[in-house]
């Protein structure tokens, strides 16, 4: 390999042979065996358009056609049949070709107006006695490439390295496991994906590599689960019938059947010294907050403390109001701890947490800092889990009473998580799903309208505001951008001087200080503002009972799960809610996504669809903190493979919680290299 090629590979972060082999083809193109023009005419009429054909013949005619898109047309003949070759914006080809020249044209062929036509084919001049033998058909791998390093060059480098390196690849999987799962050797799998003879073989190789990727993740999760359950302990909290009755009496409403079931699962976890490590996920309006308050009050009933951590101050303030309203008149002492507290208030709350003066603390990431110490933290609730990640979960566990004692952990997700993601990125957690809505909560009416009807939408919003109701207007940008998306300032001004003239319009976005954001939200909650123009930061946790309208501009810019969360902000006070998605979908797929949302209010089904359309990274809007991306496995289609890897990982880790067998040394090094730091393997508490 030359130095220039090595530099170009480095641009793609391909610096070693291992990197090169892991740079898998993104697709394959079929190169048909070289054939005559007449045979190709018949075959192309029925073949898939992505087939690349090789045709040999003689240039019988050549002409240049000027115009806005000048082109060169050549007729390549074989007997009485010809194929039309067309090159656009390639005047240099006219100097390269002439009638009577023999050559091979390679490209995708299409029957057009009775002719077989190739557009911008590759041309190889041949002739004389040393004409190359006809090509045999093959699958050609297509790689992610750059302008300076095309796929064909990457393919050449890989094909050169394969025979020299493939024999050095050591397989970390036991032969018995490979046989049981029908998996090829690792070296053979790499050969299959880079130099397959058929698409079936390429997929078999990909499956092996995807399985390895999923197995590594599941082994790490299994090791994490084992360590949390066996190397550390939590305070046992028995929820007796008396405690259960006392907690329920504090709630201003009866728990639904789903909430009661969730509380029972959590109570069973709390009663053990093995730390609870549970994910509570629920659809919009399912009542997760009441369940987490139930869990914290169980700890308080035994003289311990609970903490509820939220990703934003707005959400923390919202949780504080909910907790205080539930506990109004009780002896439970509640405090708020955020990074923006004044020094004197911060000192008071810090001292109260350490002395046990506060029973429940609601806070933001600030709770995870080293200066925060609790007297006896028995349960930690983390809201909007995907915004924190595994490292933050480890940090909150370190807030236990010291030594090997850690708090029980309950993480909540307002966005229902597809099962494949729950088993993958949250595989160290047990899962409780809250389904159904609270009594009195109905799904808002959803409408998808084109942007040209926006003025009609806002005329209707104006009427609702005049009737005393309030509205959210969500836009994708804070400031004016070159993409032309609606932004908070410009859109608020346009509405105030146009269809919503006279309405009291507030603005909310992430560039405001926390104090400014809270002031805006409080004004909206108490009714001093009629309309709130905001970014997606109002997606979760914002509870304004009088808000009945949600308008989302450029809805095609958001994920389905995100849009589902946004529409859950309205209709929370008894009045019916309406959500209107104003959109300019540029593709049929974009329209399909929004139409699906308009016809379904099942957050779990929507989450599965969102995953299949956008993938896990886009589903969350940001990467799960610390965990490497899956580069081969496709969670939307590899669910069965994931379940196999999970079962194998559980059996492999078994009762030891580690990969201690000398035969597993290679696999153990791989798992620890990928996940030791982010999952805290071997360093619990």
How far apart CA 261 and CA 283 sit, in angstroms, is 15
* pLDDT tens-digit readout, 119-175: 898 888 887 767 777 777 778 899 998 888 888 889 989 999 999 898 899 999 999
Closest residue by Cα to residue 457 from 469, 466, 448: 448
pTM: 0.72
How far apart CA 3 and CA 223 sit, in angstroms, is 43
In the predicted model, is pLDDT for residue 179 greater than 90?
yes
Sheet holding 531-534, edge to edge: 445-450, 578-583, 547-552, 470-474, 531-534, 505-508
C-alpha pair distances (Å), 374 with each of 356, 387, 403: 7, 23, 14
pLDDT at position 42 is 64
* pLDDT tens-digit readout, 333-392: 999 999 889 999 999 999 999 999 999 999 998 998 889 999 999 999 998 755 555 666
H or E element in which residue 507 lies: strand 505-508
Averaged pLDDT, 184-204: 95
* pLDDT tens-digit readout, 407-433: 999 988 877 777 777 777 777 788 898
pLDDT at position 482 is 60
CATH code for 34-126? 2.40.50.140
In the predicted model, is pLDDT for residue 458 greater than 60?
yes
pLDDT at position 623 is 41
Longest dimension (CA), the chain: 101
Instruction: Tally Cβ neighbours within 10 Å of residue 155.
Output: 18
Tell me the two tokens of residue 142: 């297509």
* pLDDT tens-digit readout, 51-96: 778 888 889 999 988 888 889 999 988 767 788 899 998 888 888 8
C-alpha pair distances (Å), 634 with each of 581, 611, 638, 665: 30, 10, 6, 27
How far apart CA 412 and CA 281 sit, in angstroms, is 6
Q: Cα 392 vs. chain centroid, distance in angstroms?
A: 19
Say how many Å lie between the first and final Cα of the chain, rounded: 48
pLDDT at position 545 is 84
Domain with CATH 3.40.50.300 in the chain: 241-434, 445-600
* pLDDT tens-digit readout, 286-343: 888 899 999 999 999 999 999 999 888 888 888 898 899 888 888 999 999 998 899 9
* pLDDT tens-digit readout, 521-579: 889 988 999 999 998 877 665 678 899 999 999 988 888 878 888 888 888 777 889 99
Confidence of residue 264 (pLDDT cuts 50, 70, 90): very high
Fold of 445-600: Rossmann fold (3.40.50)
Confidence of residue 400 (pLDDT cuts 50, 70, 90): confident
Tell me the two tokens of residue 104: 């091979």
pLDDT at position 630 is 82
587 or 300: which carries more pLDDT confidence? Answer: 300
Closest residue by Cα to residue 366 from 319, 324, 307: 307
Domain with CATH 2.40.50.140 in the chain: 34-126
Tell me the two tokens of residue 37: 């023009």
pLDDT at position 533 is 94
Q: To which residue do tokens 């836009």 refer?
A: 475
How far apart CA 396 and CA 587 sit, in angstroms, is 44
Crossing angle of the two packed helices 288-301 and 257-270, in degrees rounded to 10: 40
Closest residue by Cα to residue 310 from 364, 349, 361: 364
In the predicted model, is pLDDT for residue 681 greater than 50?
yes
Of 33-37, 113-117, 125-129, 654-658, the poorest mean pLDDT is in: 33-37
Average pLDDT over the chain reads 85
- CA torsion sign for 50, 51, 56, 60 is negative
Domain range 241-434, CATH class: alpha beta
């Amino acid at each position: 390999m030359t130095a220039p090629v090595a530099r170009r590979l480095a641009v793609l972060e391909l610096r070693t042979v291992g990197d090169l082999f892991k740079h898998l083809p993104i697709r394959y193109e079929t190169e048909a065996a070289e054939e005559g023009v007449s045979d190709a005419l018949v075959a192309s009429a029925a073949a898939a358009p992505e087939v690349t054909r090789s045709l040999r013949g003689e240039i019988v005619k050549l002409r240049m056609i000027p115009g806005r898109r000048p082109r060169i047309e050549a007729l390549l003949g074989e007997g009485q049949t010809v194929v039309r070759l067309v090159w656009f914006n390639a005047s240099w080809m006219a100097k390269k070709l002439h009638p009577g020249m023999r050559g091979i044209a390679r490209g995708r062929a299409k029957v057009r107006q009775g002719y077989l036509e190739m557009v911008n084919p590759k041309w190889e001049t041949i002739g004389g006695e040393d004409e190359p033998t006809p090509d045999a058909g093959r699958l050609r791998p297509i790689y992610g490439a750059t302008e300076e390093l095309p796929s064909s060059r990457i393919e050449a480098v890989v094909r050169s390295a394969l025979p020299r390196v493939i024999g050095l690849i050591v397989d970390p999987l036991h032969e018995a496991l490979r046989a049981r799962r029908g998996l090829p050797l690792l070296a053979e799998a790499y050969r299959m994906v880079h130099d397959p003879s058929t698409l079936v073989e390429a997929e078999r190789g990909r499956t092996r590599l995807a399985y390895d990727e999923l197995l590594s993740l599941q082994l790490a999760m299994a090791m994490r689960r084992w360590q949390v359950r066996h190397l550390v302990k939590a305070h046992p909290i028995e929820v007796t019938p008396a405690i259960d009755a006392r907690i329920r009496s504090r709630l201003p409403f009866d728990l639904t059947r789903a909430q009661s079931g969730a509380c029972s699962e959590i109570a069973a976890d709390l009663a053990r010294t093995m730390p609870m490590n549970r994910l509570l996920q629920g659809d919009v309006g399912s009542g997760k907050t009441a369940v987490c308050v139930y869990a914290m009050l169980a700890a308080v009933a035994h003289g311990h403390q609970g903490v509820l951590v939220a990703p934003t101050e707005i959400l923390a303030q919202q949780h504080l109001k909910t907790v205080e309203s539930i506990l109004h008149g009780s002896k439970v002492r509640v405090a708020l701890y955020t990074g923006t507290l004044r020094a004197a208030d911060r000192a008071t709350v810090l001292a109260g947490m350490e002395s046990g003066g506060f029973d429940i603390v609601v806070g933001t990431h600030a709770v995870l800092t080293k200066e925060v110490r609790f007297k006896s933290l028995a349960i930690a609730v983390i809201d909007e889990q995907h915004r924190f990640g595994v490292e933050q979960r480890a940090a909150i566990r370190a807030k236990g009473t010291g030594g090997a004692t850690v708090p029980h952990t309950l993480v909540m997700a307002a966005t229902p998580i597809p099962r494949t993601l729950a088993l993958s990125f949250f595989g160290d957690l047990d899962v409780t799903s809250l389904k159904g809505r609270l009594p009195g909560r109905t799904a808002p009416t959803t409408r998808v309208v084109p942007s040209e009807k926006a003025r009609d939408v806002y005329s209707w919003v104006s009427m609702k505001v005049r009737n005393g109701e309030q509205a959210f207007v969500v836009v994708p940008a804070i400031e004016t951008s070159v993409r032309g998306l609606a932004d908070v300032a410009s859109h608020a001004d346009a509405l105030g001087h146009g269809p919503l003239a006279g309405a009291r319009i507030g603005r909310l976005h992430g560039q405001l200080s926390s104090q400014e954001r809270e002031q805006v939200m409080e004004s909206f909650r108490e009714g001093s503002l009629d309309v709130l123009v905001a970014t997606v930061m109002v997606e979760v946790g914002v509870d304004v009972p009088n808000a009945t309208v949600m308008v989302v501009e450029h809805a095609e810019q958001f994920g389905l799960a995100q849009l589902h969360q946004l529409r859950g902000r309205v209709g929370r006070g008894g009045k019916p809610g309406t959500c209107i998605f104003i959109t300019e979908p540029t593709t049929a797929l974009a329209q399909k996504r929004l139409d699906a949302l308009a016809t379904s209010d099942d957050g779990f089904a929507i989450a599965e669809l969102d995953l299949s359309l956008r993938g896990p990274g886009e589903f969350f809007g940001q990467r799960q903190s610390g965990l490497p991306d899956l580069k081969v496995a496709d969670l939307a289609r590899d669910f069965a493979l994931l379940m196999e890897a999970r079962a194998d990982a559980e059996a492999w880790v078994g009762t030891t919680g580690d990969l201690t067998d000398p035969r597993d040394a290679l696999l153990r090094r791989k798992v620890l290299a990928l996940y030791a730091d982010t999952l805290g393997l071997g360093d619990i508490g």
